Amino acid sequence: MQQPEVGHDQLDMLFNARGVAIIGASSVPGKPGNQIILFALEMDYQGAIYPVNPSATTISGLKCYKNIGEVPGLVDLVVVVLPAAACVDAAKEIVARKKEKGDVAGVVVVSAGFSEHGADGRQREQELREILVANGIRLVGPNCQGIMDTYSGVNTTFDVGRYPRGGLSFIAQSGAFSVSYLEWAHPLGLVGLNKYVSMGNMADVNAIELLRYLGKDERTRVIALYLEGIGNARELIEAATEVSKRKPIVAFKAGKTELGSQAAQTHTGSIAGSDAIYDGAFRQAGVIRAATVAEFYDTCRAFGKLPRPRGNRIYILTVVGGPGTICLDELSRAKQIRMAQIAETTKENLRATLAPTATVDRPRGYTDMTGAVNEELHQEVLKIVLSDPNVDGLIYLTTPPAFLDERKLAENLVAAYQSFPEEQRKPVLAVLGYGYAVAEGRKILEANGLPTLEYPDVAAKVMANLVTYSQYQARVSK
Amino acid sequence: MQQPEVGHDQLDMLFNARGVAIIGASSVPGKPGNQIILFALEMDYQGAIYPVNPSATTISGLKCYKNIGEVPGLVDLVVVVLPAAACVDAAKEIVARKKEKGDVAGVVVVSAGFSEHGADGRQREQELREILVANGIRLVGPNCQGIMDTYSGVNTTFDVGRYPRGGLSFIAQSGAFSVSYLEWAHPLGLVGLNKYVSMGNMADVNAIELLRYLGKDERTRVIALYLEGIGNARELIEAATEVSKRKPIVAFKAGKTELGSQAAQTHTGSIAGSDAIYDGAFRQAGVIRAATVAEFYDTCRAFGKLPRPRGNRIYILTVVGGPGTICLDELSRAKQIRMAQIAETTKENLRATLAPTATVDRPRGYTDMTGAVNEELHQEVLKIVLSDPNVDGLIYLTTPPAFLDERKLAENLVAAYQSFPEEQRKPVLAVLGYGYAVAEGRKILEANGLPTLEYPDVAAKVMANLVTYSQYQARVSK
């Protein structure tokens, strides 16, 4: 089932709104209605921002308007941050404005207190949607943080400010979950973001439509999806099947258990549905479903930054035996992975380059460089392994600080990776066990397209996910 | 089988060495033989540090000695950082010194190139051990970082410097793995450390003896064990069974698979053994085995900081629906956990305190406070739940920054936790989804005994591990 192009165009107008009004804008620091203004101002946004509040004259230096009808310029997008009971009236005012001025493509309703909150809430949500949709206005939410586009600079969220650009678009039923990921990633630049939608109760704009939209969005390399439940799961799977032919969808599905499903219902009013059915359907649709939050976090950003493996032959290059062993344990459990069988000349090169204490390619696909290596050797060895045509992807592990200069090491790893022309690059996951204690090295690697991970076992899962998707895509594109 | 007390006393002399000599000390920055000196000097160590190197007069301001025989003061511990081929001769010199001066209780051999490195290495290791042990000297390693004691200030490692004190002791077959954990934890104070041993090839001092030793060590609240393989696994399990009656042992066992086991052999010369057998034996012995590195990291530090749950009735208090749902999913899968059934008066108190948008105790054991709460309310609500005698432990989840001041929030959480007398405290896991982006808040919580976690699903596993151990201990102490 093809989504009508009007939907696509309208979503495009939301992400590229030429003017954004915030009904319920506040001058009180810490209030969502204030924070939204502050974050909107942080962006490189070329359009106009219009606070609307009957009792303020300016907010954060912006002229404030008494009501939405008064706002002079073009308003493609309206954000509503009012108590739930006031939202329907606000919707009516927005419709009145649209009738007069012809603008307003979409409304983000931030407020909670709708279908996640009993029968009254459900009715209120229905009313809200009917008023807006009947008048050609798309509704995002309610009970959400709305949308962000790091390229256009549109940002209606109250928890995420200016953010590094990149290939990941994230659509989420839980604002807190997705915002946690983005903020978790922020200090080290772990995620490069394109578009973000906190979908909330999905009264109108929902995961299905957004999947299709992002499937066509050229800047989106990977779609991250956090889902609790959706009424029309079959249609979601149809959309995912279409989209995953073109680009990866990485999903985390909560509400897996009876109790979890009940919690999801109080949260976004969603019915979770059978977890086993989702699991099978996702797999068939080519959706990569992460089992843990850590796997989800790291898989999404690996897809966002790295080239896809062209095969399933993976090599482990480690400076550290323990983490290397843990990674190999997990990688050798993944049925879709084969440990790469490198050429004899590659082995000879490694032996000639490394210290005699190194164990080269033992077991197959695994070289322990041991600690006695300097920054330059890392670069050489990485190049040797990546040059071997029998290798489709590499996991590199170390714990850098005391022996080596982490900045120099990171620069050398980047130089090795980037010594190959872009179209010949292979995915490299760098496991730097020290976490934030090697922040400077990690920032350099991340800024240059090399994802850095903290857990050797998660790295194996991420590599397996990259391979799974390549295999899926190869299969369906035949 | 009881370990002879002489072993205990000798290990005690290593951790409390009155003088430490480093054979192979180096003045070249970045070399292990230099880094060991630098880290040793960082500690509050009351004993003397003696660099030994025939071609230097001072190293890092310390007088350097030509050979170990020349060192004037008491030397309880000698560190050897020489090429593998030179270690046996060094051992002979150490023995000669002991014969003359009567000191030297133990030797740490840092050098690699022993049983992890073929037949020659195995023979060299045997020779090394025989020379030392026959002369009453204990051998730590070879192929290791040796020992650290944050209280005595002894530190032979080249990767860990001055470290916050606490209740966790870590014994590890992989220095890189354990050091990764310690460094990963360092910037936020996630781990409070007591003793640390990187055991390497365990030619003499091994995991069995160290388990027994730490079992009797009053400052050790929890023992973290990283293991790849051990020859006498049966004896290890016997020791673990004894020790886990008194205090928890949290284990990560690598070399789970055929390939992983081969890698472990090239790493520490160990044969991994059947993973399923380890799994069952650990469970019977009351050892908490973590399935993932993240679970291991967080379980160890939770045991190190928190009181033990007195029952299995756990409550989830969340500000954030998505992460809360994920946590509940995982917690409700743990068979040993029951969601706490709070008293009617507790529910009334929660309803009276929280905003009307909050969903109180729905589903049972789960309250979503929703985002509309201030820092003070967090304190009140935490107290209300922790006061209920039907609650044995609490997982608290939030994503603090935009609305709330993270420092104030952290201080209020600490105040709520510490408002109970120490003997009445219940374990609280604080999931602050933002990771390093809320570093300041996390530091406050960690410094006051409240572990902060990043992943809601891992938090559930950690709580389940705390409960499993309490249940085990209750069972065996009957």
Q: Least CA distance to A293: which residue of chain B? A: B455
- A126 Cβ neighbours under 8 A, 6+ residues apart: A203
- Tens digit of each residue's pLDDT (9 = 90 or more) over B36-94: 999 999 998 999 999 999 999 999 999 999 999 999 999 999 999 999 999 999 999 99
The two tokens of residue A435 are 């976490």
CB-neighbour burial class of residue B343 (10 A; exposed 0-12, middle 13-18, buried 19+): middle
State the alpha helices, DSSP H only, in B102-229: 118-133, 175-185, 207-216
Q: Least CA distance to B253: which residue of chain A? A: A326
CB spacing of B259 vs A35 below 8 angstroms: no
In three-state secondary structure terms, B36 is helix
- Tens digit of each residue's pLDDT (9 = 90 or more) over B387-444: 999 999 999 999 865 567 889 999 999 999 999 999 999 999 999 988 888 999 999 9
Name the percent of chain B lying above pLDDT 90: 83
A chain contacts of residue B320, beta-carbon cutoff 8 Å: 174, 176-177, 180
Q: Checking phi first, is residue A396 left (phi over 0); if not, alpha (psi -120 to 50) or beta?
A: beta
Is the distance from CB of B397 to CB of B431 less than 8 angstroms? yes
pLDDT for position A403: 63
In the block, tokens 């997982």 appear at B395
pLDDT for position A332: 94
* Strands A222-227 and A165-172, sheet pairing: parallel
pLDDT for position A90: 98
B chain contacts of residue A324, beta-carbon cutoff 8 Å: 263, 267
Nearest to A14 by CA among A210, A166, A174, A173: A210
CB spacing of A259 vs B339 below 8 angstroms: yes
Which pTM does this prediction carry?
0.95
B chain contacts of residue A257, beta-carbon cutoff 8 Å: 328-329, 332-333
Between B174, B188, B328, which is nearest A260 by CB? B328
Between A184, A325, A435, which is nearest B184 by CB? A435
Q: What does the alpha-carbon distance between residue B162 and residue B155 come to, in Å, rounded to a whole number?
A: 9
Count of residues in chain A: 478
Q: Write the single-letter amino acid at A350.
A: L
Q: What does the alpha-carbon distance between residue A189 and residue B35 come to, in Å, rounded to a whole number?
A: 31
In the block, tokens 């003088």 appear at B19
Between A176, A293, A433, which is nearest B180 by CB? A433
B chain contacts of residue A173, beta-carbon cutoff 8 Å: 322
Is the distance from CB of B307 to CB of B167 less than 8 angstroms? no
The two tokens of residue A426 are 């292979």
Helix (H) or strand (E) holding A315: strand A313-318
CB spacing of A267 vs B332 below 8 angstroms: no
The neighbouring-strand residues paired with B70 are none
Q: Which residue has the higher pLDDT, B117 or A432?
A: A432
Q: What does the alpha-carbon distance between residue B380 and residue A399 come to, in Å, rounded to a whole number?
A: 43
Helix (H) or strand (E) holding A170: strand A165-172
CB spacing of B332 vs A458 below 8 angstroms: no
Q: What does the alpha-carbon distance between residue A182 and residue B434 come to, in Å, rounded to a whole number?
A: 8
pLDDT for position B87: 97
pLDDT for position A405: 85
Provide the chain A residues 241-260 that lie in CB contact (below 8 A) with chain B: 252, 254-260
- What interface predicted TM-score (ipTM) does this complex get? 0.94
B chain contacts of residue A267, beta-carbon cutoff 8 Å: 321-322, 324-325, 368
Which three-class secondary structure string do you get for B83-98? CHHHHHHHHHHHHHHH
Q: Least CA distance to B317: which residue of chain A? A: A263
Q: Where do the domains of chain B lie, and which CATH numbers do they carry? A: 1-144 (3.40.50.720), 163-305 (3.40.50.261), 308-476 (3.40.50.261)
Q: What does the alpha-carbon distance between residue A150 and residue B227 come to, in Å, rounded to a whole number?
A: 46
Between B263, B333, B456, which is nearest A257 by CB? B333
Q: What does the alpha-carbon distance between residue B427 and residue A229 come to, in Å, rounded to a whole number?
A: 32
In three-state secondary structure terms, B237 is helix
Nearest to A403 by CA among B419, B451, B32, B328: B32
B chain contacts of residue A434, beta-carbon cutoff 8 Å: 180, 183-184
pLDDT for position B478: 74
What average pLDDT is seen over chain B?
A: 93
CB spacing of A323 vs B177 below 8 angstroms: yes
* Number of neighbours of residue B310 by Cβ within 10 angstroms: 14
- B158 Cβ neighbours under 8 A, 6+ residues apart: A402, A403, B32, B35, B36, B39, B81, B110, B145
Which three-class secondary structure string do you get for B285-328? CCCEECCCHHHHHHHHHHHHHCCCCCCCEEEEEECCHHHHHHHH
pLDDT for position A10: 87
CB spacing of B456 vs A184 below 8 angstroms: no
Distance from CA of A332 to the nearest CA of B (A): 7
Checking if the pLDDT of B128 tops 50, the result is yes
CA A66 to chain centre: 37
A chain contacts of residue B357, beta-carbon cutoff 8 Å: 112-113, 117
Q: What does the alpha-carbon distance between residue A396 and residue A415 come to, in Å, rounded to a whole number?
A: 15
pLDDT for position A5: 44
Q: What does the alpha-carbon distance between residue B241 and residue B284 come to, in Å, rounded to a whole number?
A: 8
Q: What is chain A's pLDDT, residue by residue, as a tens digit (478 residues)?
A: 333 444 568 899 999 999 999 999 999 988 899 999 999 999 989 999 999 999 999 999 999 999 999 999 999 999 999 999 999 999 999 999 999 999 999 999 999 899 988 899 999 999 999 999 999 999 999 999 999 999 999 999 998 999 999 999 999 998 889 999 999 999 999 999 999 999 999 999 999 999 999 999 999 999 999 999 888 889 999 999 999 999 999 999 999 999 988 888 776 666 666 888 889 999 999 999 999 999 999 999 999 999 999 999 999 999 988 999 999 999 999 999 999 999 999 999 999 999 888 899 999 999 999 866 788 899 999 999 999 999 999 999 998 655 678 899 999 999 999 999 999 999 999 999 888 889 999 999 999 999 999 999 999 999 999 999 999 999 998 7
CB spacing of A184 vs B255 below 8 angstroms: no
Interface residue B33 vs chain A (CB under 8 A): no
Distance from CA of A307 to the nearest CA of B (A): 27
Which of A256, A275, A325, A395 has the highest number of chain B CBs within 10 A, making it the mutation to test binding with B? A325
* Number of neighbours of residue B423 by Cβ within 10 angstroms: 6
Q: How far is CA B123 from CA A38, A274, B78, B133, B173, in A?
A: 69, 59, 22, 15, 20
B chain contacts of residue A259, beta-carbon cutoff 8 Å: 328-329, 332, 339, 363, 365-366
Helix (H) or strand (E) holding A58: strand A58-59
pLDDT for position B356: 84
Distance from CA of B477 to the nearest CA of A (A): 33
Provide the chain A residues 70-99 that lie in CB contact (below 8 A) with chain B: none
Helix (H) or strand (E) holding A198: strand A193-198
Average pLDDT over residues B160-181: 94
